[in-house]
Amino acid sequence: MMWSAVTIVFCAALLPAEVDLSDSAVFVAFRRADPQLTQFVTLQRSGVTEALDLVIAMGSPDSQPFGQVSVNWWTEVRKIGLFLQDKAQPSRVYALGSRAGFADCAMGLERATGTDTVVSCKGEKPSNYPHQKWVYDVRAKRLVAQFAYQPYATLRTIPSAGRSVFVVSDNQRQIAVEYKADKSPAFRILGEAEAKRFDANRETKPFPTDVPALPRTTYEEFAAARPQRVSEGFKREVIDLKDTIGPWQREGSRIWFGKNFYDGEGSTGVGGFGYFDTAEHKIRVFNPPELVDWSVSALDVQPDAIWMALVYNTEYGGSAGGVLRYDRQTETIRRFPLPDIAHGIVQAGGKTVIATNFGFAVIDGDQLTRYFIDRTTDGRLRIAAATVLPGH
């Protein structure tokens, strides 16, 4: 749907005092386009030209007030709208289009640039709805296209000399993506044939059978490590402590591993990591405070550091907890925020590349950048950078 420019004339005295007048003009345009929407919130505002702001807003009917239902809950009756607004004359608003969400869907504003916007929609247990994409011409102040496509998640990571290859899928087909840190662009889509070839040559290594079972976590250890869980009703007589070995990696005589556990419905555990020394036949487990509430979903052991991705496993599905870097010399931990669940971590050209259920993330020094497989208006696939938005 393409909307023409709307010039809004409004009375400031009729608007809530806490609402910015520029936002109010957008809200009036939004309600004029869809009278069923009565409550509005600005999700993102950014300058796309010297004269225009791109404004992304959400509108909701009285049945789902923002005070009772989370702002990021994008439902079948709530709509996301895109608008261009004149900076010098905020009352001049150009509406680009709107789109309702899905049932039980948490929206993510993944990309918002001067050419396109992509919104994700994540359901429970876990289900990913199609990405919604708007493409627009800010000079012409019009919408070019609005369409949906299934997101791609990384299934497998295949390190090789000088590069890393990832097999990704949208649940309909698999493709391979190559990463070379010394190339520009570093990511390159290889295609379906390469994905099949890498899958055919893939080796699976079972966890060694000679590694002893993890020491059983006692309730006293659980209560000391996770007092908040105890206060929430996780008493001795009602919980089942089940820690298991998750992702693992060999390093000389040591087999490193991350701990996994399910945290709900009476089952729980204490997060951590450790190693089994095959020469000494000893197992050692570390439970630093940064890990006790989390399972480890991906692990990468390096001479100077151990990288771990965190996930919180409950009956509602997994929730990402970011990526940790454990410095093996200083025994200090640094957390990198990452909203996606990681399935693999590799090192490439001095950078840490993380395969996720959203696509990829690259840590270069202090900077983390997320990438995803995007679809263009003509149906081609490309690797796009997710936008770092203010407040995120």
CB contact at 8 A, 91 and 25: yes
Sequence spans of domains, the chain: 5-148, 153-385
pLDDT at 335 over 70: yes
CB 239 within 8 A of CB 207: no
* pLDDT, tens digit, 9 for 90 and up, residues 278-314: 999 899 999 999 999 999 999 999 999 999 999 999 8
Question: What Å distances lie between residue 188 and 20, 183, 302, 370, CA to CA?
Answer: 43, 9, 26, 15
Q: What is the pLDDT of residue 14?
A: 36
Nearest to 44 by CA among 132, 124, 110, 102: 110
pLDDT at 369 over 50: yes
DSSP result, 202-229: ----PPPTTSPPPPPPPHHHHHHH-HHH
d(CA 284, CA 272): 11
Classify strands 254-260 and 333-336 as parallel, antiparallel or unpaired. unpaired
Sheet of 39-47, strand order: 5-7, 92-100, 79-86, 52-60, 39-47
Q: Which residue has the higher pLDDT, 105 or 358?
A: 358
What is the number of other CB atoms lying within 10 angstroms of the CB of residue 86?
18
At 182, give phi and psi (nearest 5°): -90, 5
- Tokens for 344, please give them: 């693999």
The whole-model pTM stands at 0.88
Contact 307, 338 (CB under 8 A): no
Q: Transcribe 312-347 into DSSP letters.
A: EEETTEEEEEEEEEEETTT--EEEE---S-EEEEEE
pLDDT for 178-210, tens place per residue? 999 889 999 999 988 888 888 777 777 788 877
Which pairing describes strands 240-241 and 267-268: parallel, antiparallel, or unpaired?
A: parallel
